[in-house]
């Protein structure tokens, strides 16, 4: 089996690189005067179209954790992992209707700014630091490591060299500002979708050929029969993957907290829409929701195909790590190595596009938060626009350097040796998600919510998450097993699935915030409410039709693959 890229593949990849580089440079020069303005540099205020917003949302979201991590989870547990993508489509509709209007009405450009405007500077500063640490330690580091792992497996280049090259490429795009990121993301998404569909098509065809048949549809039919256990969205309690996706929690529990926090309270995501008017922002988010529906075809099916092919005798060495353990993170690179010359270069470009776009998006958000919410407010309140832009660029370079160091030092320990990289990202992000979401949702829609209650959610949510994580060795949680909220691990200790932990922590945060708010209200504390009225939540007719269509497709998908 061919394991290396050929000259033709490198030519295809080089064409992609040149197209993105020259297009980005053209956008940068076209808007060069505007890049001296900090809001324009960080937000591309008023210049992104709905299709650019939607494409940028997906390009920034779909990266190594999906192509590599989610495909690996598809190999391990099957279609159920697609719930992160399909529930995200429903979440995007909610964010477009209820969250974005609040941000735009109150002229909010960063998430810490929202916290400062709604609560106080202490809450905003604590969360700004939290977000920076989260983006660098979890997001940037994981994307760099998983992305480099994939590129190394396909190209044969040293993984450390791949980490360095990815970082340099991403920095180059990020330094052009949000306009360059937003519009180059349109190209990135094109390559991402096209290359991903090609990889899926080849994998399904090969599954069919292995059984003496041909055609993508026959290949899919064989997948559903040979790996029937990999085509169930809702796991039962006795399923070995129940701890990762605990039954109905994916529909009515912690999955909503994960998605609503990620898509609605996340600088890295909402930043794409905060520079637009409301109709444009909503249309862009709706476009992203439709793209989300098709993502499992690109990132999950190849993992399931790799699982079937592995059982049929393929990838017996490609899927093993240095210790001889099956490494699920190698599922997608193994599939890409099946592609013919030229097409492999195209899919390689698609994978690189996804990784670089996501790195650039997160790095830009890091620069935005550090510059506008930490540097400008705590260190230099009189800084001019050019100074702010320069500080933002420096913070991008520094954060990427830190992520490179972390990926070199601990990347393999945290996400190598057969671990599911996607699940690592979700679990450790979940340590702060419940408290953040509780603080945002009450801050949006309950004007009485006080700053001290938000501070409780900020710190208490993280503490509660740690307690639930560390509790099992000291507390017998078997009494929760009958309700599906705990399950014995390999050594017989009952643990709570991390999605359920998130649900419990969220409930505790809301209860604590309600108690503190009521006590302070009685003492005469008058919180700062946001400007909110019911008329701003009414979407236009076209958006409503599209939203109903998205929900209808989701109902059909869950009915088919229940």
Of 22-26, 467-471, 521-525, the poorest mean pLDDT is in: 22-26
Tokens of 398: 């520094």
pLDDT of residue 245: 85
Banded model confidence at residue 450, pLDDT cuts 50, 70, 90: very high
pLDDT of residue 381: 79
Q: Measured between alpha carbons, how far is 439 from 436 in angstroms, rounded to an integer?
A: 5
Each residue of 169-180: pLDDT tens digit? 888 767 665 555
The answer on pLDDT for 550 being more than 70 is yes
**pLDDT mean across residues, the chain:** 81
Q: What is the mean pLDDT of residues 6-35?
A: 71
Q: Measured between alpha carbons, how far is 85 from 232 in angstroms, rounded to an integer?
A: 15
Q: Give the global pTM.
A: 0.81
User: How far from 153 is each of 5, 54, 330, 332, CA to CA, in Å?
Assistant: 10, 31, 8, 10
Question: Helix 216-226 to helix 301-311 angle, to the nearest 10 degrees?
Answer: 70
Residue with tokens 């399931």: 304
pLDDT of residue 507: 94
Is the separation of the CB atoms in 197 and 189 below 8 Å?
Answer: no
Q: Please compute, for residue 44, the number of CA atoms within 13 A of its CA located in the half-sphere on the CB side.
A: 31
The answer on pLDDT for 3 being more than 60 is no
The answer on pLDDT for 553 being more than 60 is yes
Going from N- to C-terminal start, the domains of the chain cover 48-422, 430-531
Closest CA to 435 of 519, 514, 510: 510
The answer on pLDDT for 92 being more than 90 is yes
pLDDT of residue 190: 76
What is the DSSP secondary structure assignment for residue 34, as one 8-state letter?
G
In CATH, 48-422 is 3.30.1330.10: no
Instruction: Kindly tell me the burial class for residue 126, based on how many C-beta atoms sit within 10 Å of its own C-beta (0-12, 13-18, 19 or more).
Output: middle
Banded model confidence at residue 1, pLDDT cuts 50, 70, 90: very low
Q: Measured between alpha carbons, how far is 292 from 304 in angstroms, rounded to an integer?
A: 19
Q: What is the mean pLDDT of residues 72-83?
A: 88
Each residue of 395-445: pLDDT tens digit? 888 988 998 888 888 766 665 544 555 666 777 777 888 998 999 999 888
């Amino acid at each position: 089996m061919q394991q290396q890229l050929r000259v033709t593949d490198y030519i295809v990849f080089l064409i992609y690189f040149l197209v993105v580089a020259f297009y980005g440079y053209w956008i940068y020069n076209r808007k060069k005067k505007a890049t001296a303005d900090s809001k324009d540099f960080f937000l591309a205020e008023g210049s992104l179209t709905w299709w650019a917003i939607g494409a940028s949302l997906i390009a920034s979201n779909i990266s190594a954790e999906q192509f590599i991590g989610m495909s690996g989870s598809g190999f391990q547990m099957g279609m159920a992992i697609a719930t992160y993508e399909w529930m995200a489509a429903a979440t995007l509709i909610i964010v477009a209707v209820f969250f974005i209007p609040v941000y735009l009405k109150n002229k909010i450009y960063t998430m810490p700014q929202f916290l400062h405007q709604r609560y106080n500077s202490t809450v905003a500063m604590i969360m700004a630091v939290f977000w920076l640490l989260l983006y660098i330690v979890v997001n940037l580091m994981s994307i760099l490591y998983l992305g480099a792992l994939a590129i190394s497996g396909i190209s044969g280049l040293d993984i450390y060299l791949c980490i360095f090259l990815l970082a340099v490429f991403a920095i180059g795009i990020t330094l052009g500002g949000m306009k360059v990121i937003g519009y180059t993301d349109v190209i990135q998404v094109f390559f991402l979708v096209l290359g991903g569909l090609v990889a899926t098509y080849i994998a399904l065809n090969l599954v069919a050929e292995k059984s003496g048949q041909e055609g993508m549809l026959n290949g899919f039919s064989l997948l559903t029969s040979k790996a029937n256990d990999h085509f169930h969205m809702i796991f039962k309690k006795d399923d070995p993957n129940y701890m990762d996706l605990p039954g109905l929690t994916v529909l009515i529990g912690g999955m909503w907290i994960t998605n609503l926090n990620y898509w609605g309270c996340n600088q890295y995501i909402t930043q794409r829409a905060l520079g637009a008017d409301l109709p444009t922002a909503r249309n862009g988010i709706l476009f992203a929701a439709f793209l989300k529906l098709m993502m499992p075809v690109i990132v999950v099916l190849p993992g399931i195909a790799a699982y079937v092919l592995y059982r049929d005798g393929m990838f017996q060495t490609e899927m093993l790590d240095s210790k001889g353990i099956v490494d699920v993170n190698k599922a997608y690179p193994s599939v890409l190595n099946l592609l013919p010359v030229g097409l492999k270069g195209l899919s390689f470009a698609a994978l690189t596009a996804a990784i670089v776009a996501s790195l650039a998006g997160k790095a830009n958000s890091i620069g935005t938060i550090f510059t506008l919410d930490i540097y400008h407010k705590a260190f230099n309140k009189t800084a001019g626009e050019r100074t702010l832009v320069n500080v933002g660029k420096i913070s991008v370079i520094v954060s990427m350097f830190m992520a490179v160091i972390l990926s070199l030092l601990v990347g393999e320990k945290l996400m190598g040796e057969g671990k599911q990289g996607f699940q690592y990202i979700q679990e450790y992000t979940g340590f702060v998600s419940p408290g953040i979401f509780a603080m945002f949702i009450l801050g949006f829609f309950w004007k009485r919510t006080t700053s001290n209650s938000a501070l409780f959610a900020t710190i208490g949510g993280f503490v509660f998450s740690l307690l639930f994580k560390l509790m099992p060795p000291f507390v017998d949680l078997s009494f929760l097993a009958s309700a599906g909220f705990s399950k014995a691990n390999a050594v017989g200790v009952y643990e709570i699935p991390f999605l359920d932990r998130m649900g419990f922590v969220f409930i505790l945060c809301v209860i604590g915030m309600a108690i503190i708010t009521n006590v302070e209200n009685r003492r005469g504390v008058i919180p700062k409410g946001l400007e909110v009225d019911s008329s701003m939540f009414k979407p236009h007719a076209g958006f409503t039709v599209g939203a109903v269509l998205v929900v209808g497709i989701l109902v059909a998908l869950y009915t088919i693959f229940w």
